[in-house]
Amino acid sequence: MCGAPDQAVALPPGTDLTKETVLTGRVVAGGEPVGGAFVRLLDGTGEFTAEVVASPSGQFRFFAAPGTWTVRALSRAGSGQAELTADGPGVHRAEVAVA
Amino acid sequence: MSRQDVLVTADWAEKNLGTDGIVFLEVDEDTTAYDGGHLPGAVKINWTTELQDPVRRDIVDSDQFATLLSAKGVGNDDTVVLYGGNNNWFAAYAYWQFKLYGHADVKLLDGGRKKWELDGRTLTTDVVERPATTYTAKEPDNSIRAFRDEVVDAIGAKNLVDVRSPDEFSGKILAPAHLPQEQSQRPGHVPSAINIPWSKAANEDGTFKSDEDLAKLYGEEGYDADKATIAYCRIGERSSHTWVVLHELLGYADVKNYDGSWTEYGSLIGVPIELGAPEKKAS
C-alpha cells in the first residue's frame, strides 16, 4: 500500500484530537476487509455504548473517552471482538477479525 | 396492544412487499443509508428535514405531518411499516410520531435494516414513486409526549428512565460514542432517574427481546410498573425505542417520551442535575 493515503482515520473537519478520544480500525475476515459489518462499542463493564456500520473498506470510528473498551463486530461473515485501551485523547486503533 | 399489533417479522415483510395498502417507510439516523439500498418499494423519510420543524426546535406539527405523508403517498387507511438502521432508533422515533398524530395502523419491522442485511435479503436502489394522497393528521396526543416542566415535576415522583449508555448517564461522555463529544450542555442525568440503556431491550441482531425477558429486565432494574413513566435519552430517538417497549409491547398505560431529552434538559438554567454512576441495586 506504499503511497496510498491513510484512510484509517477519516475524521469530521475540525475534530480536535487534543480533546476527542477517537477509536478507529478495520473489520477483517481472513485478512480481507469486511464492509457493512455492524460494529458496537462496549464499555469497561461490557455494556453497549454505540454502534456503527463499517464502511465498504471495513473501517469504523467512535468518539469515546479514555478507558478500556471492547469493539465487537457482527456480519454475515461471522462475529468477533477486540479489546482497546485508550490512555488519553487522540486516535487509537484496533483491528477486529470476524469468523 | 400486543406484540403482533406492533411488530412485523422480516419474513412477513418480505411476503408483503408491494401489497396494496401496506407502505414501507425507511427512517435512518444516517440519512444516506436508504440511497445505498432499501427494501423494494420502500419510501424514505429524512428525520432531520421531514420529521422536525425546519426553524424552531420541535417535531413537525400536525399540518406539517399531514403534508409530509400526503407527499409520500401514504393514506390514512394504509398499514405503515417503519424500519431503519441503528437498531430502529429513528424508525421508533417516527413510529412514536405516527402514534402522536393518530395514524391507525403503524408497525415496526423487528430488527430493522440490520436483521434484513444480516439475513442477506434483497435491497434495491430503484427509485420509488407513489401517487400523492390527501392525508389528515389528528391533533397531537400529548399523553405520550413529555415536556421539560413535566420532567422536573417527575423527579422523585415518576419513573424517569434514562435510556442512554452508562457512560452518558454518569456524565463521562455527552453523546453516543459514534458522534463527536463536544456539546454545549452539562453532563449528567435527571435526579432520581434510573439508567436502563435501550440496548438492554434489544438482541444483537436488532430485534426486540421477548415480552417475558423485557418484563423481567425492567423489574430487575428498579422500574415501578405502578407509576407513570417518562423516558429520555439525548435527543429522543433511543427513548422512542424504549417507549415502544414500555407502552406498546409491555402495555404500560402512562408512558411518555421526552423528545427534548438531555440536549434540552442539560441546557436548562437552574434545574437539578445528578452526576455519577447509578446506585448498585441489591441483588
**Cβ contacts (< 8 Å) between B177 and chain A: which residues?**
23, 41, 49-50, 62-64
Q: Please state the rounded mean pLDDT for residues A35-43.
A: 94
pLDDT digit string, tens, across residues B187-202? 999 999 999 999 999 9
CATH of domain B3-140: 3.40.250.10
Q: Are B36 and B121 in contact (CB under 8 A)?
A: no
pLDDT band of A12, cuts 50, 70, 90 = confident
B120: left (phi over 0), alpha (psi -120 to 50) or beta: left
Share of chain A above pLDDT 90, in %: 67
Q: Are B219 and B198 in contact (CB under 8 A)?
A: no
**Cβ contacts (< 8 Å) between B280 and chain A: which residues?**
none
Lowest mean pLDDT among B57-61, B173-177, B251-255: B173-177
Residue A9 predicted with pLDDT over 70: no
* Three-state SS at B11: helix
pLDDT band of B185, cuts 50, 70, 90 = confident
pLDDT digit string, tens, across residues B145-178? 999 999 999 999 999 999 999 989 998 888 877 7
Looking at domain B143-265, what is its CATH homologous superfamily? Rhodanese-like domain (3.40.250.10)
Nearest by CB to residue A43, choosing from B33, B165, B181, is B165
Nearest by CB to residue B178, choosing from A20, A62, A74, is A62
Q: What is the mean pLDDT of chain A?
A: 87
DSSP B266: T
Strands B229-232 and B255-257: parallel
Residue A5 predicted with pLDDT over 60: no
Residue A47 predicted with pLDDT over 80: yes
Neighbouring-strand partners of residue B7? B108
Single-letter code of the amino acid located at B107: K
Residue B52 predicted with pLDDT over 90: yes
Q: State which residues form the domain around A87.
A: 21-97
Residue B118 predicted with pLDDT over 90: yes
Predicted local distance difference test score (pLDDT) of residue B282:
44
Residue A74 belongs to a domain: yes
Residue A14 belongs to a domain: no
Predicted local distance difference test score (pLDDT) of residue A2:
40
**Cβ contacts (< 8 Å) between B166 and chain A: which residues?**
43, 45, 47, 49
Q: What is the mean pLDDT of chain B?
A: 94
* CA–CA separation, B169 and B163 (whole Å): 8
Cell of B74: 401514504
Strands B229-232 and B159-162: parallel
Q: Please state the rounded mean pLDDT for residues B31-48.
A: 94
Looking up cell 486516535, which residue turns up?
A91
Write the burial class of residue B19 (CB in 10 Å: 0-12 exposed, 13-18 middle, 19+ buried): exposed
The DSSP code sequence of B113-146 is: HHHHHHTT---B------------PPPP-GGGB-
Residue ranges matching CATH 3.40.250.10 in chain B: 3-140, 143-265
pLDDT band of A72, cuts 50, 70, 90 = very high
Residue A61 belongs to a domain: yes
pLDDT digit string, tens, across residues B68-110? 999 999 999 999 999 999 899 999 999 999 999 999 999 999 9
What's the CATH code of the domain at A48? 2.60.40.1120
Cell of B104: 391507525
Cell of B189: 442525568
Residue B263 predicted with pLDDT over 60: yes
* CA–CA separation, A84 and A92 (whole Å): 8
Cell of A79: 462475529
Structural domains in chain A (count): 1
CA B205 from centre of chain: 17
Establish if B175 touches chain A: CB-CB under 8 angstroms.
Answer: yes
